[in-house]
Amino acid sequence: MENMETRDPDTDAGEMAFAAALAGRAQRFEYALVNDAGEVRHAWVHYVPDRHDDRVVGLFVLVSNITDFKKAELRLQALNEQLVAARDRAE
């Protein structure tokens, strides 16, 4: 479960994207959530306006768990930083 206390609706990317989607603009963004156990989970979120005639009557929402991909990306970044540091020490 997401820790809702840490989310500010005026600055939270998910809240702002939700409002933009309700205004008719499709949104895609990456989102990090912290569960009650303190674990960080990463998601790729899509909000697609559901239009009937010229009105937005709702949203289609697709949320994909990308935690494993994000962990691999962060690990690769760390390894690259170590490689650069080792190269700089060797020069």
Q: Residues 38, 16: contact at Cβ < 8 Å?
A: no
Those residues with Cβ within 8 angstroms of residue 67's Cβ, 6 or more apart along the chain or in another chain: 40, 41, 42, 43
**pLDDT higher than threshold 60 for residue 78:** yes
Taking only the tens place, the pLDDT of each residue in 37-53 is 999 999 999 999 999 99
Q: Residues 49, 21: contact at Cβ < 8 Å?
A: yes
Q: Residues 52, 60: contact at Cβ < 8 Å?
A: no
Is the model more confident about 5 or about 63? Answer: 63
Phi, then psi, of 84 in degrees rounded to 5: -65, -45
Question: In terms of residues, how long is the chain?
Answer: 91
- From residue 27, alpha-carbon distances to 8, 59, 81, 85 in Å are 19, 10, 32, 38
Taking only the tens place, the pLDDT of each residue in 7-40 is 555 567 788 999 999 999 999 999 898 989 999 9
